[in-house]
């Protein structure tokens, strides 16, 4: 049986999974895909609070534990070509790459997980809300939520849904777009 695919976008989701000691369990529950920018740059300098643990996603890619995905510069530019520069400035490079991957991919089982509200809104603005999941829902579907305790608000289902709806609303009204879509 194939594991469902999961794109862990934001470095903060990966860092939080490490801090909760759930990273290995998440990799066992899902086929984890990570944007190249997150693998090579965004989590590279994370060190645990005790200073003893680092995240080395490149080693996990090399050993086949996770898969690295990459969007081309033109795919990223195309995905966000109609976004207002002031809105786009709040989106980190790893988030841009992950969303561009979702836009370019035809895989129906590739899912986007982030704790960044601007990234969640951006996905909604691009009509990708159905391809997004909160960290809380990710843990719940894998049977890992019990005993986790309270998550940061940006990682819970309610916040995710609120910002997904805001993105959908912006899509309809044209807010934060250079030209309205409708």
Q: Measuring CA to CA, which residue among 139, 138, 98 is closest to residue 122? A: 98
Decide if 139 is inside a domain: yes
Reported as a single tens digit per residue, the pLDDT across 52-65 is: 678 999 999 999 99
Decide if 25 is inside a domain: yes
Answer for the pair 110, 7: CB distance below 8 angstroms, yes or no.
yes
Decide if 181 is inside a domain: no
Reported as a single tens digit per residue, the pLDDT across 24-78 is: 999 999 999 999 999 999 887 776 666 667 899 999 999 999 999 999 999 999 9
Reported as a single tens digit per residue, the pLDDT across 125-166 is: 999 999 999 999 999 999 999 999 999 999 999 999 999 999
Provide the pLDDT for residue 1: 46
Decide if 114 is inside a domain: yes
Per the structure, the count of domains in the chain is 1
pLDDT at 105 over 90: no
Provide the pLDDT for residue 5: 77
Decide if 24 is inside a domain: yes
Decide if 178 is inside a domain: no
Decide if 179 is inside a domain: no
Q: Provide CB contacts within 8 A for 67, sequence distance 6+.
A: 31, 32, 33, 34, 61
Kindly state the average pLDDT of the residues 100-129.
Answer: 92
The boundaries of the domain holding residue 60 are 5-173
The Cα 79–Cα 101 span in angstroms is 9
Decide if 52 is inside a domain: yes
Which one is predicted more confidently, 8 or 123?
A: 123
């Amino acid at each position: 049986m194939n594991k469902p695919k999961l794109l862990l976008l934001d470095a903060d989701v990966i860092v939080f999974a490490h801090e909760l000691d759930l990273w290995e369990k998440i990799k066992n529950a899902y086929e984890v895909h990570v944007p190249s920018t997150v693998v090579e740059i965004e989590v590279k300098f994370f060190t645990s609070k005790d200073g003893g643990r680092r995240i080395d996603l490149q080693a996990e890619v090399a050993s086949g534990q996770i898969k690295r995905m990459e969007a081309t510069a033109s795919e990223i530019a195309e995905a966000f070509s109609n976004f207002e520069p002031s809105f786009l400035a709040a989106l980190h490079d790893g988030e841009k790459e992950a969303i561009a991957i979702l836009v370019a991919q035809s895989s129906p089982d590739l899912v986007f997980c982030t704790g960044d509200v601007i990234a969640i809104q951006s996905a909604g603005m691009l009509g990708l809300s159905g391809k997004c999941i909160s960290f809380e829902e990710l843990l719940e579907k894998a049977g890992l939520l019990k005993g986790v305790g309270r998550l940061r608000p940006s990682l819970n289902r309610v916040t995710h849904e609120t910002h997904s709806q805001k993105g959908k609303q912006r899509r309809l009204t044209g807010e934060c777009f250079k030209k309205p879509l409708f």
